[in-house]
Structure 1
Amino acid sequence: MDSDDLGLFGPGSVTWKVHEEPILIVAGLRSLYLQALHPRAMAGVAQNSNYRTDAWGRLVRTATYVATTIYGTTAEAEAAGARLRRLHGRMRATDPDTGEEFRIDEPELLRWVHVTEVESFLSTARRAGLPLTDAEVDGYYTEQRRAAALVGLDPADVPGTAAEVADYYRQVRPALRMTREAAETAVFLTAPPLPWKLNLPARVGMNLGPARLAYFGVAGTAFALLPPWARRLYGGLGLPTTELSADLTVRALRLALTALPQRWREGPLQQAAKERAARLTPR
């Protein structure tokens, strides 16, 4: 029964420990900056997505999908994965270099998106101050192979340790570069249109309201958390002190977010998962 199911991971997993962190909102943005550097993956997004006209709707849908895979029941996670596979299976794009038409659910592209996402979650949480042992780090990557299977990847072809992730990045880096689409996406990610309720100051004549300034801070931190080689691909942006500044900023932001009431930090799927876990845990 779904009511007795703790999902793909459960309360004893490293995945739950990592995704308990509200700082992962920064990690999600970091992963998008990183993903944009893959020309073929970026073409697939640009030619199939309405992210420019519905940026916040797409963000909510992506966050809901991730939360479902992490905290939903096994049936809910598998259903979400099946929907995503059907959606991706219908999509095609044109390679910007060769003109070749390709499927956006090619394993190479799915693997790139998966690795950049989970590596962003993990590295951001650690740099923000979440204590994780090396064994837990490898455990997280191994656990996340279950999420990779949901999008159609063979778990055996997905990096399952920190060393394998580092090796994967070394292999893929020669194919990465900043294209025009990547640059436009990075600018958009840094200054997207805000939801209208948060954009009031601009409507009354102010260019930078509090919400816009706060978002700039989050976007700047996400960008600064990129690996040095990724920042160099974006044109060498960042001073020698960028890494230290990013670490200090993300740690301060984590402290601020964890000080918020729990009901503000946890979504309904996470709350429901914790309720199931509490009910099923022997007293």
Structure 2
Amino acid sequence: MGATNGSALATATADGSEPVGALIGPGSLVWKYAGDYRNMLFLGRTGILQNMHPAVGAALQDHSDFFTDPWDRLVRSLPQIQGMIYDADNEAQAGRVRDYHKPLKGTDSRGERYHALNPEVYWWTHATFIELNIAVNEYFGTPLTDEEKEQLIAEGITWWRMYGLSDRVLVRDYAEFKQYWDRTIDEVLERNATTDFALSLDRHRIPAFPGIPEPVWTVIWRPVMAFNLWLANGLMPERARDILGMRRWTRLDRAAFTVFCNAVRHTWPLLPERLRYAPRAYAGIERVRGE
């Protein structure tokens, strides 16, 4: 991944009025964390937060088979987004990811017209991935320092600009990002049909996760989905949990969650690198290492 990976975008006007980006190639925080398998522990939390946006929830209902195969969006989306970071043609990959969303438009639950490429809509889903890099370290690693959070926001700006969408939604620093994050949860997000469905997946059987044989899934689906919903509850921002009507945790829940987080935190660094990264990410890491 060469100098084209955001270097031309990481400039500001003379008075500093434009948000300043930072390179997202090898050595960056996005490179370090975007393909980390610990992100899979946040599947429920990140997916539900995205679906809580009225436009995203409506797009899933109008343009996908989410209610019959909710894994499909995951299988299609995550590797493609990782390709924006780790592929040799990462900037072309960004264009492909953006263009997948061109046909997605309609009317949301509030009767307002939506388009998936509206910057305000698309920025929310992008913001959940930026915030994920902070949250995964908060719960399952070493919390990022204030300086690292600022760096991550700058890298997120470059990552966003790869899509070629408007800068008008960008924030300049972590403080602005946090304000945007809290305001969106308070004023925009909602409980809707997609979130209600996601929160009932321990009661409604769905197809097997890709790679798991159906006979095995038949046996394990209920405890697997119950655990994932329990984990999503623990990881969910408190205000979002209130909007969704998620159950209040007991003292036992909190104790078990702390034990789980500590177990991941202490065992993860002991795993070989190839087991800590998703295949597309690890392939990119190995390619750069070979170069």
* TM range, smaller chain: 0.7 to 0.9
Instruction: From the superposition, tell whether residues 139 and 263 of structure 1 become closer, same or farther in structure 2 (CA, over 3 Å).
Output: same
Which amino acid counterpart does residue 53 of structure 2 have in structure 1? H
In the alignment, is residue 67 of structure 1 matched against residue 82 of structure 2? yes
User: CA offsets per residue over residues 160-179 of structure 1, 9 Å max, x none?
Assistant: 53312221023322222212
| Aligned residue number for residue 207 of structure 2 | 193
Give the aligned CA root-mean-square deviation in angstroms.
Answer: 3.0
**For 1:269, which of 280, 285, 288 is the aligned residue?**
280
Instruction: From the superposition, tell whether residues 215 and 96 of structure 1 become closer, same or farther in structure 2 (CA, over 3 Å).
Output: closer
**For 1:234, which of 224, 238, 244 is the aligned residue?**
244
Q: Does the 8 Å contact 1:159/1:165 carry over to 2?
A: yes
Which amino acid counterpart does residue 118 of structure 2 have in structure 1? E
User: CA offsets per residue over residues 178-197 of structure 1, 9 Å max, x none?
Assistant: 12343123324986432484
Partner Cα separation in structure 2 for residue 13 and residue 127 of structure 1: 20
| Aligned residue number for residue 50 of structure 2 | 35
Partner Cα separation in structure 2 for residue 162 and residue 190 of structure 1: 39
Query: Once the 2 structures are TM-superposed, how far is the Cα of residue 233 of structure 1 from its aligned partner?
Result: 0.7
The alignment of Structure 1 onto Structure 2 pairs a total of residues equal to 270
In the alignment, is residue 113 of structure 1 matched against residue 125 of structure 2? yes
Query: Once the 2 structures are TM-superposed, how far is the Cα of residue 225 of structure 1 from its aligned partner?
Result: 0.5
Q: Does the 8 Å contact 1:33/1:223 carry over to 2?
A: no
In the alignment, is residue 170 of structure 1 matched against residue 185 of structure 2? no
Q: Does the 8 Å contact 1:118/1:144 carry over to 2?
A: yes
Describe the SS at the equivalent of 2:200.
Answer: helix
**For 2:192, which of 167, 179, 203 is the aligned residue?**
179
| Aligned residue number for residue 13 of structure 2 | none
Partner Cα separation in structure 2 for residue 66 and residue 93 of structure 1: 24
| Aligned residue number for residue 13 of structure 1 | 28
Partner Cα separation in structure 2 for residue 5 and residue 130 of structure 1: 29
**For 1:48, which of 45, 63, 67 is the aligned residue?**
63
User: CA offsets per residue over residues 30-68 of structure 1, 9 Å max, x none?
Assistant: 111112222232112221122333433331221211221
Q: Does the 8 Å contact 1:224/1:238 carry over to 2?
A: no
| Aligned residue number for residue 14 of structure 2 | none
Which amino acid counterpart does residue 159 of structure 1 have in structure 2? V
Query: Once the 2 structures are TM-superposed, how far is the Cα of residue 13 of structure 1 from its aligned partner?
Result: 0.8
Q: Does the 8 Å contact 2:107/2:114 carry over to 1?
A: yes
Instruction: From the superposition, tell whether residues 194 and 141 of structure 1 become closer, same or farther in structure 2 (CA, over 3 Å).
Output: same
Describe the SS at the equivalent of 1:144.
Answer: helix
User: CA offsets per residue over residues 96-146 of structure 1, 9 Å max, x none?
Assistant: 222x43322111111111112221232122221234211011211210122
Question: Which structure 2 residue ranges, 5 or more long, are not aligned?
Answer: 7-23
Higher percent of residues as helix: 1
Describe the SS at the equivalent of 1:82.
Answer: helix
Q: Does the 8 Å contact 1:67/1:270 carry over to 2?
A: yes
Instruction: From the superposition, tell whether residues 133 and 266 of structure 1 become closer, same or farther in structure 2 (CA, over 3 Å).
Output: same
Identity fraction in percent: 25
Taking structure 1 as the reference length, what is the TM-score of the superposition? 0.80
| Aligned residue number for residue 11 of structure 2 | none
Q: Does the 8 Å contact 2:130/2:153 carry over to 1?
A: yes
In the alignment, is residue 96 of structure 1 matched against residue 106 of structure 2? no
Partner Cα separation in structure 2 for residue 113 and residue 157 of structure 1: 12
* Range moving further from structure 2, 162-171 or 233-242: 233-242
| Aligned residue number for residue 206 of structure 1 | none
Partner Cα separation in structure 2 for residue 202 and residue 55 of structure 1: 15
Describe the SS at the equivalent of 2:106.
Answer: strand
Which amino acid counterpart does residue 232 of structure 2 have in structure 1? A
Which amino acid counterpart does residue 96 of structure 1 have in structure 2? S
Query: Once the 2 structures are TM-superposed, how far is the Cα of residue 10 of structure 1 from its aligned partner?
Result: 2.1
| Aligned residue number for residue 141 of structure 1 | 153
Describe the SS at the equivalent of 1:251.
Answer: helix
| Aligned residue number for residue 130 of structure 1 | 142
